[in-house]
Amino acid sequence: MTDVPKPTISGIHHVTAIASDPQSNLNFYTRFLGMRLVKKTVNFDDPGSYHFYYADAEGRPGSILTFFPWPGSRHGRQGNGQVTVTSFAIPRNSIGTWVERLSKADVEFDGPITRFGEELVIFSDPDGLKIELIESGDESGEAIRSIHSATIAEAGYERTARLLTDTMGLRFVGEEGNRFRFVAGDGGASKIVDVLCSPDAARGLVSAGTVHHIAWRTPDAEQQLRWRSILVGLDYDVSPVMDRTYFESIYFREPGGVLFEIATDPPGFTVDEPLDKLGQGLKLPPMYEAMRSRIESALPPVTV
């Protein structure tokens, strides 16, 4: 009998966070950060609220940051059991341009500082979500290329580290102070997660300005099912496979409490819009299409 190879995690698929005002969120990520809105849809579990997807020009996995905007929601608390920072990769020698841009827009920031040999700046979006821009790669220009990494805060990192390495196949590659770095595959942008060990920090509270979950990439539905079988065998409570139109998903909580998703690469965002029209229309999953008029009247108007 031939051994079945272990399924793979090839890096970060996307990060999903909570916002308050949808228009402010759109303005910051498209006009200021220059990301593309590749999909405007609704929260599949709550069709009374938007779900925005920002990414690179082609909406590739590894470049995606998504938001559930909840108008009027209170600010959450960043802390243990959460992704506390989402970092984006920018070209080398572009950080000076971003420092100037942040200064002109009166966005408070820290840096530039150096971490693991790379220069970065740290700031927050209008809801207080922490963002980093990290010089990574040799491309020209200054535009955001993809997610660089995500930072997870934990009261203790050992059990999370074992899940990342022994189960999910990431490699431990180094530490700086209480920051422990793990990479998928050969590393590089969108394949990095840092775990902060912060035993004295408060536990996070999910609301506006915090991350809801982080999704990891797997190539296809067959490998996703194998991941589900592996995780259930390790006594994780894993959701059924959920059809998110643009990918399929399973969810579980890692030992420190962070909600993990494993998402398939296909079918992608062009399944219901051509590449040159991504993000222009309100796209609904088939189960909500009959409710379109009611949903559209309930959603606050936004200008893309």
Mean pLDDT of 179-185: 97
Q: How far apart are CA 162 and CA 67, in angstroms?
A: 29
- The tokens describing 99, both together, are 């420092």
Q: Got the DSSP string for the chain?
A: -PPPPPP---SEEEEEEEES-HHHHHIIIIIIS--EEEEEEEETTEEEEEEEEEESTT--TTSEEEEEE-TTPPB-B--BTEEEEEEEEE-TT-HHHHHHHHHHTT--EEEEEEETTEEEEEEE-TT--EEEEEE-SS-SSSS--EEEEEEEEES--HHHHHIIIIIT--EEEEEETTEEEEESTT--TTSEEEEEE-TTSPBPB-SBTSEEEEEEEESSHHHHHHHHHHHHHTT---PPPEE-SSSEEEEEE-TTSPEEEEEES-S-GGGSS-GGGTTSSB---GGGGGGHHHHHHHSPP---
User: Which pLDDT value is given to residue 140?
Assistant: 79
Mean pLDDT of 26-41: 97
Task: Output the 3-class SS for 28-40.
Answer: HHHHHCCCEEEEE
Whether the predicted pLDDT of 143 surpasses 90: yes
Cis amide leading into 219 (omega within 30): no
Are 153 and 198 in contact by the 8 Å Cβ rule? The answer is: yes
What is the CB neighbour count within 10 angstroms for residue 100?
11
What is the CB neighbour count within 10 angstroms for residue 277?
10
pLDDT in tens, 224-247: 999 999 999 999 999 999 999 999
Whether the predicted pLDDT of 248 surpasses 50: yes
Q: How confident is the model at residue 66 (pLDDT cuts 50, 70, 90)?
A: very high
Whether domain 12-298 has CATH 3.10.180.10: yes
pLDDT in tens, 84-135: 999 999 999 999 999 999 999 999 999 899 999 999 999 999 999 999 999 9
For the chain, what percent of residues have pLDDT higher than 90?
93
Q: How confident is the model at residue 222 (pLDDT cuts 50, 70, 90)?
A: very high
User: Which pLDDT value is given to residue 159?
Assistant: 95
Whether the predicted pLDDT of 3 surpasses 90: no
Q: CA dist 81 to 15, 72, 99, 107, 133, Å?
A: 15, 24, 30, 27, 23
Q: How confident is the model at residue 139 (pLDDT cuts 50, 70, 90)?
A: confident
Beta bridge partners of 166: none
Are 258 and 271 in contact by the 8 Å Cβ rule? The answer is: no
What is the CB neighbour count within 10 angstroms for residue 164?
25
Mean pLDDT of 262-273: 97
User: Which pLDDT value is given to residue 1?
Assistant: 43
Mean pLDDT of 31-35: 96
Q: How far apart are CA 72 and CA 81, in angstroms?
A: 24
User: Which pLDDT value is given to residue 2?
Assistant: 52
Whether the predicted pLDDT of 302 surpasses 90: yes
